């Protein structure tokens, strides 16, 4: 992403990246744009897949907070694993159910962002991930309520 911002800085100054518009690698990495019209760059940049359809300043702040949230959740999960083994409790069971489901939802969402293209396919894939995550969370909660719980189940698996 930083390289795209760097390349767009060149494009605003009148230099156009060749790799975005042409497949001729023999000309070098950048070519001087004689007129300062950057329409060609916008047409070429439309072919580049970015993670967000609308890249604005407010979305970059939200993306930064989302990224921070993902990292915090990963670190919390690292702490929850030994806690679940050392002191299992229903509170920890339900916390694990929520954290694991959210972690999986965000991870699969990133894979879909990278590999699913087309408006209808993206909407269908996101709906499928939401349905899968909802079913996973309710399934884990059902398991916690009607069975031994996640912490005790993992302990029982390790004893086999």
Instruction: Read off the tokens for 74.
Output: 């990963």
Instruction: Read off the tokens for 3.
Output: 């390289």
Contact 105, 133 (CB under 8 A): yes
Query: What b-and-e string marks burial along 49-60, b requiring 16 or more CB atoms within 10 Å of the CB?
Result: eeeeeeeeeeee
Contact 17, 32 (CB under 8 A): no
Cα→Cα distances 83→40, 90, 114, Å: 56, 12, 34
To the question of whether residue 105 is assigned a binding role by annotation, the answer is no
Q: Residues at the annotated binding site for heme b?
A: 103
Q: Annotated binding residues for a ubiquinone, as ranges?
A: 115
User: Binding site: what residues are annotated?
Assistant: 103, 115
């Amino acid at each position: 992403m930083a390289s795209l911002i760097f390349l767009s800085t060149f494009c605003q100054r009148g230099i156009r990246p060749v790799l975005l518009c042409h497949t001729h690698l023999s000309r070098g990495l950048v070519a001087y744009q004689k007129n300062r019209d950057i329409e060609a760059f916008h047409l070429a940049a439309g072919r580049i897949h970015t993670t967000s359809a609308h890249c604005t300043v407010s979305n970059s702040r939200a993306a930064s907070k989302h990224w921070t949230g993902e990292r915090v959740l990963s670190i919390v999960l690292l702490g929850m694993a030994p806690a679940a083994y050392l002191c299992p409790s229903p509170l920890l069971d339900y916390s694990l159910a929520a954290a694991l489901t959210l972690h999986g939802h965000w991870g699969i969402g990133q894979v879909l962002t990278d590999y699913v293209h087309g408006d209808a396919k993206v909407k269908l894939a996101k709906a499928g991930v939401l349905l899968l995550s909802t079913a996973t969370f309710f399934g884990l909660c059902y398991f916690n309520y009607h069975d031994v719980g996640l912490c005790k189940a993992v302990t029982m698996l390790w004893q086999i």
